Structure 1
Amino acid sequence: MKVNQLIKLLPINFFFITRFLVLVIFCLLLTCLFIIQSSSAEPVKITLMMQALEATQWEPFVKEFNDQHSDIELEVIEGPNATNQVEDLYTSSFLLGNSPYDLVFMDIVWVSKFAAAGWLRSLSDRLSKVDLAAFLEGDINGGMYQGELYRIPIRSDGGILYYRSDLLEKNGYQPPNTFTELINISHILQEKKLAEWGYLWTGKQYEGLSAMFMEVLSGYGAFWINPYTLEVGLDSTTAIEAVNFLRSTLDKKISPMGVTTYAEEEVRRLFQTGNAVFMRNWPYAFGLLSDHSSPIKGKFKIKPMVHANNYFSGSCLGGWGLGITKNSQHPDAAWEVIKFFSSEEVQRRFVLATGYVPSRRSLFNDSDILTKFSYYPQLLNVIENSILRPPIPQYAQASDILQRYLSAAITNQLRPEVAMEKAAAETRYLLGKQKSNND
């Protein structure tokens, strides 16, 4: 090629080479800018509210989550320790609109109300059948509403019967299976001056009264509300027998009159003094009763609740879990929090630190947990035979009705028959509109 021809081509090649280099440099600059922006971008903020005590217990796990997720910042807001007040705060935030919460830390009895109001996102497509099977069936059922899953269980709970194994063994008694056996053993040991009281239960007018009564109802083959038909069974013969049983423990001085004002801790503290034979409470009490300073350490055991002849024991299912709010702008980030909190490893360490009951079945036979809590296989039997409080949107109102009239019955303000008839009538009125709509 001649020199003059080469010179003619040079400007064209130089133009394309220069353009190419400029394009490469521009792309490199954009890439660097993207990396700088990504590294300096604020993490997505996810908020939820917990009772103050529980928030403190979760604090190290929240820090661990944030350390592991640079793109998500989890903030836990401390609420009141009273669960009904936490529910009210969540409800108010939803009713006012633009709730600040991405997640709801939910008691099992809130699910139907929150889901029916449209405040929660369905989680049904987030877990496979295999994933769901790892959790306790009752806990998963407690997170369902109209066939959709709205709550992933973080920890479970269930009512159990504590008994003084040392007193029963020394006096030749097997743990009672029926209400009658519990009354008879209590009476005999009281007569022998081996215990001041026979049976302690939560009779204060609050949610704990409804939870406890669910178990007595089940033990008599009765029911509160059928969630499918909305039939009310509080004024049935067997339901009135259940009230009469509670009333009889007071009339016969098997239980102190004070139980009509007792919540869980009042009951637990009195049982821990060694002055009672039986107690209905939740699993949390086991660790406190087993403390090195406890007068009854090593002198008690647990079993399923008692029942009437020809009927079966029922433990009222409790527990807490997480749901994603409908208005959350970051549902995928919120789901990462749920996955972390509900994972087997985090649940294992949380249970070991707090003594709460896991929602994953495998952990009831975990070697580390069994070393610290040897009673967990027995507890699994109780939890797996649990019963749900009525999963209806109006549960809070229905529970309030039951509490008022049941409290009137056990404090002799109303005869059991009258109290239950009034409770049933008010509950039917409450559910009447929903039943008409369903029809």
Structure 2
Amino acid sequence: MILGCSVLVLSLIILPALTQQATTVTVLIQALEAAQWQPLVTEFNQTHPQIKLQIIEGPNATNQVEDLYTSSFLLGQSPYDLVYMDIVWVPKFAAAGWLLPLSDRLTTTELKEFLAGDVNGGTFQGQLYRMPFRSDAGMLYYRQDLLSANNYQPPRTFEELMAISQDLQEKGVSQWGYLWQGKQYEGLSAMFVEILQGFGGFWIEPDTLEVGLDQPEAIRGVEFLRSTVAKNISPAGVTTYAEEETRRLFQEGKAIFLRNWPYVVGLASAEDSPIQGKFAIKPMVHAPGYPSGACQGGWGLGIAANTQHPDAALEVIKFFASEDSQREFVLATGYVPSRRSLFNDPKIVAKYPHYPELLKVVESSALRPPIAQYAQASDILQRYLSAALTNKMNPTEAMQAAAKETRRLLIN
């Protein structure tokens, strides 16, 4: 009888444990990238049988994905345990209380392995809310063959870029000197962050909410961009160009310099590219005495505040943030890692020889203001900057108006 009772008790303990279902952890990702994640998702689920990572595919437009996350949080019971975030979403989501802080779940030693710009970009008011996965940064592309043939070193300053452009254009070497993103959209704000840092200016100081758009350094930045069009170094249409318009012109061999993101390297290096093997990359130019600026982009994972499975969600984050996972993802996709060591990883460098140079770029990171009202502040900057670039307002008037409206936004 005692033996029978013991067997019954053991059965009651063991059977539920054996039949217990894995904890499901969900995350919403753009459909295109969701497909790229699949090998790592499969690997995670195989090595973590107690957790089932489920990817919910969203639209490929990042603003639509942000809207889906926002709507789910506003409804009060989001179906997502993890949040896959663009760097500029962090302040808004954190300020709204939609994310759990990660600072007490990760050690300082762990975070030192990642690019400082990526960690800073995932931080809001002293707390880390987003663990970096893949990085991104703006940089300068240049035609190494054309510069070498004409005895030029790559430019370091805005003035050198202008002088080289004018000289090679006058010689008929190239139709255009410099291409950049001047369309009224988020890319304009990202590009201008680099110009601001290069001239020693600033947009919004997050700690004090001081606005610097009407300061002389910011106005000089606007004047520089206008001068590239006025002097025919950049095409007049550049004020309507986004990344792809500028990339295509550069790849077709019609310009000497291009400001863009790392994705261009792969496309411009393809076998059918007219400039394959003829270009190189470097940090953005700047004014003498000031640092180069590389607008910090990138994506990472945070934990939804209303998740019922924070510990399981953290396991997913640590898996995707690991060196092995990032190496596998970078080798498969060509995306930029957020771990510093991987820029000199032998396997990665063998496939992407430009990564050591890319590390120099991403270490000069320039953050867009980490404030909760970032989207509104960016909209203000885009409108007035576009007005100045298209000669509807002069630079001083435009930046004074932008600064005034931004200050009014931050007070409310």
Shorter-chain TM-score: what band?
Answer: over 0.9
1:137-156 alignment to 2 at 5 Å?
137-156=116-135
1:296 maps to a residue whose letter is: I
Mapped partners of 1:247, 1:52: distance in 2: 38
Q: Which of 245, 256, 261 is residue 277 of structure 1 equivalent to?
A: 256
- Name the SS of the counterpart of 1:125 in structure 2: helix
| Mapping for residues 20-35 of structure 1, pairs under 5 Å | 22-35=1-14
C-alpha separation between the residues in 2 aligned to 1:297 and 1:66? Answer: 40
Q: For residue 205 of structure 2, give the secondary structure of its aligned residue in structure 1.
A: coil
SS in 1 for 2:387: helix
**Cα deviation digits, residues 299-357 of structure 1 (max 9, x gap):** 00001100112222111111111000000000111111101111100100111111111
**C-alpha distance in 2, partners of 1:165/1:195?**
13
Q: Give 3-state SS (helix, strand or coil) of 2:103's partner.
A: coil
Cα shift at 1:34:
3.9
Structure 1 distance, partners of 2:181, 2:9, is 66
Per the normalisation by structure 2, the TM-score is: 0.97
**Whole-angstrom distance in 1 between the partners of 2:263 and 2:15:** 49
Among 304, 314, 335, the residue aligned to 2:283: 304
Residue in structure 2 matched with residue 237 of structure 1 by the alignment: 216
Segments of 4+ moved more than 4 angstroms: none
Please give the alpha-carbon distance, in whole angstroms, between the structure 1 residues aligned to 2:154 and 2:225: 19
Report the counterpart of residue 176 of structure 2 in structure 1.
197
Q: Hey, what's the Cα distance between the residues in 1 that align with 2:235 and 2:75?
A: 45
**CA distance, structure 2, for counterparts of residue 125 and residue 190 of structure 1:** 56
Deviation string for 1:77-127 (max 9, x for gaps)?
Answer: 222222222212211111111011101111111111111111000111211
Give a deviation string over 1:132-155, Cα, whole Å, max 9, x none. 111112211111112211110001
State which drifts further: 167-176 or 185-194.
185-194
Deviations 1:338-388 (A, max 9, x none): 011111001001111111111111111110011111121211111112121
User: What amino acid maps onto 1:290 in structure 2?
Assistant: S
Matching of residue 258 in structure 1 with residue 242 in structure 2: no
CA shift, 1:33, in A, is: 4.3
1:330 has 2:330 as partner: no
C-alpha displacement of 1:242: 0.4
Is 1:116 aligned with 2:89?
A: no
TM alignment of 1:204-219, pairs within 5 A: 204-219=183-198
Alignment root-mean-square deviation, CA: 1.3
Match of 2:405 in 1: 426
SS in 1 for 2:210: coil
Q: How far does residue 224 in structure 1 lie from its aligned partner after superposition?
A: 0.4
Quickly say closer, same or farther: Cα 1:137–1:24, change in 2 above 3 A: farther
> What is residue 292 of structure 1 aligned with on the other side?
271
Q: What is the rounded CA distance, in whole Å, between the counterparts of 1:40 and 1:323 in structure 2?
A: 30
Alpha-carbon separation, structure 1, partners of 2:104 and 2:367? 24
Match of 2:42 among 63, 69, 80: 63
Which structure has the bigger radius of gyration?
Answer: 1
Alignment partner, residue 363 of structure 2: 384
2:387 aligned with 1:399, yes or no?
no
Distance 1:306 1:379 in 2: 15
| Residues 151-190 of structure 1: pairs in structure 2 closer than 5 A | 151-190=130-169
Distance 1:90 1:23 in 2: 56
User: CA distance change for structure 1 residues 291 and 33 in 2, over 3 Å: closer, same or farther?
Assistant: farther
The alpha carbon displacement at 1:25 in A equals: 2.4
Q: Aligned to 1:416, which of 392, 395, 399?
A: 395
Which structure 2 residue ranges, 5 or more long, are not aligned? none
The number of residue pairs the alignment matches comes to: 412
Match of 1:321 among 294, 297, 300: 300
* Residue deviations 1:197-246 (CA, integer Å, cap 9, x gap): 11111111111110100000111111100111111010111111101111
| Pairwise CA distance, 1:287 | 1.2
